[in-house]
A and B are shown apart, each in its own frame.
Chain A
Amino acid sequence: MPATPFMTQPPAIPKPSEPPLVEMPARKRPVVGIGGAGGGQSGQYPIIEAIKRGETPEPRRHESVMSAKHILDIQNFQLWYGHSKALHGVTLPIADGKITSIIGPSGCGKSTLLRSVNRLNDLVDGVRTAGSISLKGEDIYARGVDVISLRKRLGMVFQKPNPFPMSIFENVVYALRISGERKRRVLEEACEKALRQAALWDEVKDRLKSSAMGLSGGQQQRLCIARSIVCEPEVLLLDEPCSALDPIATLRIEELILEIGQRYTVLIVTHNMQQAARVSDYTAFMYLGRLVEYGRTADIFQLPRLRETEDYVTGRFG
Chain B
Amino acid sequence: MTTGSATTVMPPTSGTSRGSKGSGASSVQGGWRLGDAVLGLACRGSAALLALMLIALIGVLLHSAWPAIKQFGPGFLVSSEWRANEIERPLRDAAGAVVIRDGEVVTETLAPAFGALPVIWGTAVSSLIALVVAVPISLGAAIFLVRVAPKLRIAGAASFLIEFLAAVPSLAFGVWALFVLAPFFQEHIGPWLLRTFGEVHALRWMFYEKVTVAGRTIERPIALTGRDLLSGSLILAIMILPIITSVSRDVLRTVPRAQIEGTLALGATWWQSCMAMLRYGRSGLLGAIMLGLARAAGETMAVTMVIGNNNQISPSPFAPAQTMASVLANEFGEATEGLHRAALLYIALILLAMSLVFNVIARRLVVGRAARSPGS
Measured CB to CB, the residues of A under 8 A from B are 118, 120, 123, 125, 148-149, 151-152, 154-156, 158-160, 162, 164-166, 174-175, 178-179, 213, 224, 227-228, 231, 237
**With the chains together, A123 CA to B258 CA distance in Å?**
12
Q: Are A151 and B265 in contact (CB under 8 A)?
A: yes
Query: Contacts A125-B150, A125-B151 known; A151 to B264 CB distance under 8 Å?
Result: yes
**Min CB distance, B152 to chain A, in Å?**
10
Q: Tell me the chain B residues, 250-278 only, with Cβ under 8 Å from chain A.
A: 256, 258-269, 272, 276
Chain B residues lying within 8 Å of A178, measured Cβ to Cβ, are 263, 266-269, 272
Chain A residues lying within 8 Å of B267, measured Cβ to Cβ, are 148-149, 151-152, 175, 178-179, 231
Contact with A along B7-41 (1 / 0, CB 8 A): 00000000000000000000000000000000000
**With the chains together, A164 CA to B276 CA distance in Å?**
8
Chain B residues lying within 8 Å of A159, measured Cβ to Cβ, are 258
Q: Are B262 and A158 in contact (CB under 8 A)?
A: yes
Contact with A along B147-164 (1 / 0, CB 8 A): 000110000000000000
Q: Are A213 and B276 in contact (CB under 8 A)?
A: no
Partner pick for B263 among A118, A160, A164, A213, CB 8 A cutoff: A164
Partner pick for B266 among A160, A165, A166, A175, CB 8 A cutoff: A175
Q: How many residues of B contact A (CB 8 A)?
A: 20
Closest to B275 in A: A178
Chain A residues lying within 8 Å of B263, measured Cβ to Cβ, are 164, 174, 178
Query: Contacts A164-B276, A165-B280 known; A148 to B259 CB distance under 8 Å?
Result: no
Closest to A158 in B: B258
Q: Are B261 and A158 in contact (CB under 8 A)?
A: yes
Residue in B258, B265, B272 whose Cβ sees the most chain A Cβ within 10 Å: B265
**With the chains together, A120 CA to B268 CA distance in Å?**
12
Q: Are B279 and A123 in contact (CB under 8 A)?
A: no
Residue B376 is within 8 A (CB to CB) of chain A in the complex: yes
Chain A residues lying within 8 Å of B265, measured Cβ to Cβ, are 118, 120, 151, 154-156, 158, 228, 237
Q: Are A123 and B376 in contact (CB under 8 A)?
A: no
Q: Are A165 and B258 in contact (CB under 8 A)?
A: no
Chain A residues lying within 8 Å of B261, measured Cβ to Cβ, are 120, 123, 158, 162
**With the chains together, A120 CA to B263 CA distance in Å?**
11
Measured CB to CB, the residues of B under 8 A from A are 150-151, 256, 258-269, 272, 276, 279-280, 376
Query: Contacts A174-B266, A178-B272 known; A162 to B256 CB distance under 8 Å?
Result: yes
Query: Contacts A162-B256, A162-B258, A162-B259 known; A120 to B280 CB distance under 8 Å?
Result: no
**With the chains together, A154 CA to B264 CA distance in Å?**
11
Residue in B266, B267, B272 whose Cβ sees the most chain A Cβ within 10 Å: B266
Chain B residues lying within 8 Å of A179, measured Cβ to Cβ, are 267
Partner pick for A164 among B150, B151, B280, CB 8 A cutoff: B280
Chain B residues lying within 8 Å of A228, measured Cβ to Cβ, are 265-266
Q: Are B279 and A164 in contact (CB under 8 A)?
A: yes
Q: Are B376 and A213 in contact (CB under 8 A)?
A: yes
Chain B residues lying within 8 Å of A224, measured Cβ to Cβ, are 262
- 22 chain-A/chain-B pairs, Cβ below 8 angstroms: A118-B265, A125-B151, A148-B268, A148-B269, A151-B264, A151-B267, A152-B267, A155-B266, A156-B265, A158-B258, A158-B261, A158-B262, A159-B258, A164-B262, A164-B263, A164-B276, A165-B280, A175-B267, A178-B266, A178-B269, A224-B262, A228-B266
Chain A residues lying within 8 Å of B279, measured Cβ to Cβ, are 164-166
**Min CB distance, A242 to chain B, in Å?**
15
**Min CB distance, B282 to chain A, in Å?**
8
Closest to A163 in B: B262
Chain A residues lying within 8 Å of B269, measured Cβ to Cβ, are 148, 178
**Min CB distance, A108 to chain B, in Å?**
20
**Min CB distance, A118 to chain B, in Å?**
6
Closest to A151 in B: B267
Chain A residues lying within 8 Å of B264, measured Cβ to Cβ, are 120, 123, 151
**Min CB distance, B7 to chain A, in Å?**
44
**With the chains together, A99 CA to B40 CA distance in Å?**
66
